[in-house]
């Protein structure tokens, strides 16, 4: 077992800089308080918990299971596989199980020897249906058995243990073999087990074993909802046959300290008392992010008598019958004269009148001295006196509890997250600002606003005292203001679920995610993802329908959606991630495809129209998600009345920086300084509309374009499209989780194969722009990697690759050609300017629009051009739109906008009679190398 201790010690020395000192490791740097005196320490032989010496000012405690979970995940590889190298007769069949119990649970093997066996468990549905197995530690329970999974249990999701014949243990418990209520044999040794005076009832077998190490007799119920009716009846029956020599034990209900454990403790205490049992309770006060149980306390060395007394005190508070009874327990424990008390989710204020208390004690002593009252122990006198001079004031009809502190680092806003519980069982969660926690009036307003019917009637002084205790060492939860991937934390925050390092997590009871050392949540509430985490409900029949309905283009769109899940990582490695444009005539299936792809990600959505939003609104939309697509729909606009657009079109150049993940707009922050908010673009861009994007070359090069039409539609493809429309989100949203579990493989492929695919596309005829090749190569790489998730035949993959090559070639041709508005302009110009007019080198003829005197250039006054077009009934683009794109002219390269000495607009000099050119404001272009006009 020494090798695991060695690995733990090496990790601790490397991370915290401990100094070995005999049986301790000392002088480590505390990660919580960063104290320069280096106050962190642990035990050298059992370094399972690291602690800060500054208990009052810091109190940090860290479990090595949480710090280094990988060291506690591979028991078979570490301990069982080496046994295979030994002769058969020397092999230990329980090597992994023994190591687990000794190292992961801190148990003495001598105490648990013979109580367990090492077995195996295999789950065929785990790991996306591939199935995985593990060694287990198995215990017999009544007529069934229970076993703990010990090899990388995270692979099995929430499942950490396995029952055979699930309900067979109901009403029973597991106990140590020494438990007996038979009358002790007079001839038995003095240290022989005797019938226990107290019997602790805990949830887990490991909890019962942990308590046994400290002389506490405990039984395990296996579940908090298992009342041991049969086992208790068996105890009574056994005691009944002892002739009165054995008394019934006091039952100490010591279930877990979570919500379910507390509720069942109250329920079982009431039931057991009704059956005639004497009952008490014990509860572990929770601290830190991870729930602590009796086994944890054993490993921390916190099951000594003083610790047990403290746990029983907290148990007594839980089962106290009245608020006054609970308050008196708290006063006797802490000695504080006034404090808040919560009982049955109502809030009270306890106050002791010390002067009256002293008088009451004196009066009781006088009565005893005069013989008017029997003498009683001092504790009883104190209790009687207390009841006469305490006040218990109701101050709230609910129980507001501060859970944690959360802060938006960008805006500087911060909140305290509260849970408000009501006596009728309802719970409401919400936030309070610092200002709302400082005065009773503001607290009362926010409480009533947040939780319907919640009334606080306490004073500001009472509120301050209450908050001092609740907010002391309050946990801090980090936040992000978007949904999706957080590059800082390397985790996907997806509403109620999260994925980190391929592992699925769900929000805890306090609405945040707990990843080992990290606590995090999203502040984004506008976007809801309904992701079904039950892998057995994920249906894969949609794969065939997607191909039947949309063919290779549908698979490419899916590949882009999957690639969007890794856009941040790809941009960090390869500097860019492309945009996708899906264009097609109405009825071609664009909406059906996009809405279905969103269903795979748990969202009932299509997209938003940027032309209908303000610049500030678009910024918010573009920053709401990370590693998810942002779909821009219907951003193009048809025209009314010839050349009047009825809606302002969207300027695509706004997206130029999004290609590289840079910020697309900067806004100011409401602070006293000059801070700005310029978030990076973390998402991907999908454009869906009826007409292709017409923009600058820089934008066009960033887009991978697909055109959908109704050609090739068949009754079968129509039925497949209909089937995709009918799919429910909860049937297919498991796809996003399956995709994220392959994060490492997809990213590795993108690193290893993108350059190879880029070179392949550049070798194809007609593609020579590296950016165009790279964009399509990135999607091709994802499409190839995606075959692990969405299997297609080799022939289908060839179609996908050919389609991407065709898309790259078409994009290159689109880049080489003039913008359609520019083409329209030159067509109208050539028509209006006459044919032939002049050649680059020949004499000029009558010119109607070209003002240039240089035969190598063309100079056009746009206002004159529009006027001439109107006279000849020619439709031309709107002048404002035309000016945006004329600078991109390629067939006649743009030169400048300047004043030109006109060759066609002349003025006569009265003194000389000679004609000279007027200066005209013109757009100047190079004359095409190959003349398009005749001499």
Give the pLDDT confidence of 214-250 residue by residue, as tens digits.
999 999 999 999 999 999 999 999 999 887 888 999 9
User: Cα(419)–Cα(396) distance, rounded to whole angstroms?
Assistant: 14
Whole-number average pLDDT of the chain: 87
What is residue 132's predicted lDDT score, i.e. its pLDDT?
86
**Res. 913 pLDDT band, cuts 50 70 90:** low
Least confidently predicted of 287-291, 483-487, 517-521: 287-291
Q: Do 338 and 350 meet the contact criterion of CB atoms below 8 Å apart? A: yes
Q: Do 777 and 761 meet the contact criterion of CB atoms below 8 Å apart? A: yes
Beta strands 483-486 and 399-407 are: unpaired
CA 842 to centroid of chain Cα atoms: 72
Given a cut of 60, is residue 932 above it in pLDDT? no
User: Cα(779)–Cα(754) distance, rounded to whole angstroms?
Assistant: 9
Q: Do 735 and 538 meet the contact criterion of CB atoms below 8 Å apart? A: yes
Q: Do 451 and 443 meet the contact criterion of CB atoms below 8 Å apart? A: no
Cis check for the bond before 764: say yes or no (omega within 30 of 0).
no
What is residue 644's predicted lDDT score, i.e. its pLDDT?
41
What is residue 844's predicted lDDT score, i.e. its pLDDT?
47
Given a cut of 70, is residue 845 above it in pLDDT? no
Q: Which of 121, 119, 118, 101 is nearest to 110 (CA)?
A: 101
What is residue 649's predicted lDDT score, i.e. its pLDDT?
65
**Res. 381 pLDDT band, cuts 50 70 90:** low
Structure tokens at 460: 């500001």
Q: Which residue stretches of 40-197 are H helix?
A: 64-67, 75, 95-99, 109-112
- Kindly state the average pLDDT of the residues 803-814: 94
Q: Do 583 and 759 meet the contact criterion of CB atoms below 8 Å apart? A: no
Given a cut of 70, is residue 157 above it in pLDDT? yes
**Res. 838 pLDDT band, cuts 50 70 90:** very low
Q: Which residue stretches of 279-338 are H helix?
A: 294-299, 305-319, 323-334
User: Cα(435)–Cα(449) distance, rounded to whole angstroms?
Assistant: 15
Q: Do 218 and 202 meet the contact criterion of CB atoms below 8 Å apart? A: yes
Beta strands 857-860 and 346-352 are: unpaired
Least confidently predicted of 129-143, 461-475, 701-715, 822-836: 822-836
What is residue 646's predicted lDDT score, i.e. its pLDDT?
42
- Kindly state the average pLDDT of the residues 641-651: 52
Q: What is the pLDDT of residues 503-554, one digit of tens each?
A: 888 998 899 998 867 889 999 988 889 999 988 889 999 999 999 999 999 9
3-class secondary-structure state, position 287: coil
The count of residues in the chain is: 935
- Kindly state the average pLDDT of the residues 803-832: 90
Q: What is the pTM of this model?
A: 0.78
What is residue 643's predicted lDDT score, i.e. its pLDDT?
45
Sign of CA dihedral 516, 519, 525, 526: negative
- Kindly state the average pLDDT of the residues 785-801: 94
Name the residue with higher pLDDT: 57 or 559: 559
Name the residue with higher pLDDT: 519 or 188: 519
Given a cut of 70, is residue 699 above it in pLDDT? yes
User: Cα(151)–Cα(146) distance, rounded to whole angstroms?
Assistant: 16
What is residue 245's predicted lDDT score, i.e. its pLDDT?
87
- Kindly state the average pLDDT of the residues 876-881: 86
- Kindly state the average pLDDT of the residues 106-110: 92
- Kindly state the average pLDDT of the residues 726-748: 93
DSSP H or E segment with residue 460:
helix 460-471
Given a cut of 80, is residue 905 above it in pLDDT? yes
Of 29-38, 266-275, 925-934, give the range with the top mean pLDDT: 266-275
Given a cut of 50, is residue 124 above it in pLDDT? yes
What is residue 402's predicted lDDT score, i.e. its pLDDT?
96
Using the CB atoms, write b or e for 13-44: b if 16+ within 10 Å.
eeebebeeeeeebbbbbbeebebeebbbbbeb
Say what percent of the chain tops pLDDT 90.
53
Q: How many CB atoms lie within 10 A of CB 775?
A: 27
What is residue 575's predicted lDDT score, i.e. its pLDDT?
94
Q: Do 617 and 751 meet the contact criterion of CB atoms below 8 Å apart? A: no
Strand order in the sheet with 497-500: 503-506, 497-500, 491-494, 483-486, 625-626
Given a cut of 80, is residue 465 above it in pLDDT? yes
- Kindly state the average pLDDT of the residues 278-301: 89
Q: Which of 748, 762, 781, 729 is nearest to 560 (CA)?
A: 781
Q: What is the pLDDT of residues 394-435, one digit of tens each?
A: 999 999 999 999 988 777 789 999 999 999 989 999 999 999
Given a cut of 90, is residue 176 above it in pLDDT? yes
What is residue 817's predicted lDDT score, i.e. its pLDDT?
85
Q: Determine phi and psi for 663, rounding to 5 degrees.
A: -70, 145
Structure tokens at 677: 């908010």
Say what percent of the chain tops pLDDT 70.
88
């Amino acid at each position: 077992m020494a090798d695991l201790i060695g690995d733990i010690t090496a990790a601790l020395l490397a991370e915290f800089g401990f100094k070995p000192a005999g049986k301790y490791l000392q002088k480590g740097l505390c990660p919580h308080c960063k104290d320069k005196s280096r106050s962190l320490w642990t035990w050298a032989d059992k370094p399972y918990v690291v602690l800060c010496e500054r208990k009052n000012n810091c109190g940090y405690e860290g479990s090595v299971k949480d710090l280094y979970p990988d060291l506690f995940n591979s028991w078979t590889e570490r301990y069982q596989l080496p046994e295979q190298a030994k002769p058969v007769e020397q092999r230990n069949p329980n090597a992994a199980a023994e190591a687990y119990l000794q190292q992961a649970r801190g148990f003495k093997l001598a105490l648990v020897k013979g109580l367990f066996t090492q077995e195996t468990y295999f789950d065929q549905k785990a790991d996306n249906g591939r199935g995985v197995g593990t060694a287990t530690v198995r215990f017999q329970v009544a007529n069934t058995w229970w076993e703990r999974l010990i090899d990388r249990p995270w692979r099995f999701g929430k499942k950490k243990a396995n029952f055979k014949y699930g309900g067979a243990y109901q009403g029973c418990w597991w106990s140590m073999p020494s438990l007996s209520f038979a009358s002790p044999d007079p001839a038995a040794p003095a240290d022989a087990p005797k019938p226990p005076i107290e019997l602790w009832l805990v949830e887990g077998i490991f909890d019962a074993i942990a308590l046994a190490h400290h002389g506490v007799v405990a039984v395990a119920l296996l579940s908090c909802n298992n009342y041991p009716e049969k086992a208790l009846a068996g105890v009574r029956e056994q005691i009944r046959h002892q002739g009165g020599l054995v008394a019934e034990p006091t039952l100490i209900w010591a279930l877990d300290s979570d919500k379910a454990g507390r509720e069942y403790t109250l329920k079982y205490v009431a039931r057991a008392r009704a059956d005639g049992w004497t009952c008490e309770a014990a509860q572990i006060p929770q601290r830190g992010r991870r729930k602590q149980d009796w086994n944890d306390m054993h490993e921390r060395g916190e099951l000594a008598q003083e610790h047990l007394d403290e746990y029983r005190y907290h148990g007594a508070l839980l089962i106290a019958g009245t608020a006054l009874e609970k308050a008196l327990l708290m006063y006797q424990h802490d000695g504080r004269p006034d404090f808040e008390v919560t009982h049955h989710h109502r809030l009270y204020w306890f106050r002791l009148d010390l002067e009256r208390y002293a008088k009451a004690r004196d009066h009781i002593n006088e009565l005893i001295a005069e013989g008017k009252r029997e003498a009683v122990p001092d504790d009883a006198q104190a209790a009687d006196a207390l009841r006469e001079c305490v006040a218990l004031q109701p101050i709230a009809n609910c129980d507001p509890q501060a859970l944690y502190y959360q802060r938006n680092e960008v805006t500087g806003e911060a909140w305290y997250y509260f849970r408000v519980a009501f006596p009728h069982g309802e719970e409401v969660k919400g936030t309070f600002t610092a200002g709302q926690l400082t005065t009773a009036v503001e607290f009362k307003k926010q409480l009533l606003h947040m939780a319907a019917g919640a009334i606080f009637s306490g004073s500001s002084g009472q509120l301050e005292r209450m908050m001092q205790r609740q907010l002391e060492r309050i946990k801090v939860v980090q936040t992000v203001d978007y949904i999706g991937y957080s590059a800082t934390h390397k985790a996907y925050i997806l509403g109620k679920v999260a994925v980190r390092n391929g592992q699925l997590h769900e929000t805890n009871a306090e609405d945040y995610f707990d990843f080992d050392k990290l606590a995090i949540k999203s502040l984004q509430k506008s976007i809801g993802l309904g992701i079904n985490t039950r892998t057995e409900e994920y249906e894969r029949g949609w794969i065939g329908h997607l191909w039947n309905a949309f063919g290779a283009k549908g698979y490419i769109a899916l590949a882009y959606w999957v690639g969007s899940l890794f856009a941040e990582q790809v941009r960090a490695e390869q500097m860019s991630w492309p945009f996708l444009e899906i264009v097609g005539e109405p009825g071609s299936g664009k909406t059906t495809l996009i809405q279905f792809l969103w269903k795979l990600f748990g969202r009932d959505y299509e997209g938003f129209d940027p032309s209908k939003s303000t610049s500030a609104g678009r910024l918010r939309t573009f920053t709401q998600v990370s590693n998810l697509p942002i779909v821009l729909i219907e951003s193009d606009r048809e025209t009314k009345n010839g050349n009047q657009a009825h809606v302002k079109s969207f300027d695509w150049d706004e997206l130029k920086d999004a290609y590289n993940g840079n910020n697309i707009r900067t806004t100011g922050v409401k602070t006293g300084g000059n801070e700005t908010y310029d978030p990076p673009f973390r998402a991907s861009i999908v454009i869906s509309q009826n007409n292709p994007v017409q923009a600058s070359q820089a934008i066009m090069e960033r887009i991978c374009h697909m055109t959908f039409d109704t050609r090739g539609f068949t009754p079968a493809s129509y039925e497949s499209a209909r089937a995709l429309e009918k799919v429910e989100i909860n049937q297919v949203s498991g796809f996003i989780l399956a995709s994220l579990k392959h994060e490492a493989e997809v990213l590795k492929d993108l690193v290893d194969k993108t350059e190879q695919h880029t070179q392949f596309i550049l070798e194809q005829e007609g593609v020579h722009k590296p950016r165009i090749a790279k964009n399509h190569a990135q999607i091709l790489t994802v499409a190839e990697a995606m075959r692990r998730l969405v299997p297609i035949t080799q022939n289908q993959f060839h179609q996908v690759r050919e389609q991407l090559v065709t898309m790259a070639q078409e994009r290159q041709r689109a880049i080489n050609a003039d913008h359609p508005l520019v083409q329209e302009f030159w067509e109208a110009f050539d028509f209006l300017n006459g044919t032939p007019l002049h050649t680059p080198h020949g004499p000029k003829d009558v010119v109607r629009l070209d003002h240039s005197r240089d035969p190598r250039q063309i100079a056009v006054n746009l206002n004159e051009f529009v006027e001439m077009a109107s006279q000849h009934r020619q439709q031309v683009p709107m002048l404002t739109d035309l000016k945006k794109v004329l600078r991109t002219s390629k067939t006649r390269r743009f030169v400048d906008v300047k004043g030109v000495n006109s060759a066609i607009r002349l003025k006569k000099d009265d003194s000389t009679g000679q004609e000279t050119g007027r200066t005209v404001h013109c757009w100047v272009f190079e004359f095409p190398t190959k003349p398009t006009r005749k001499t």
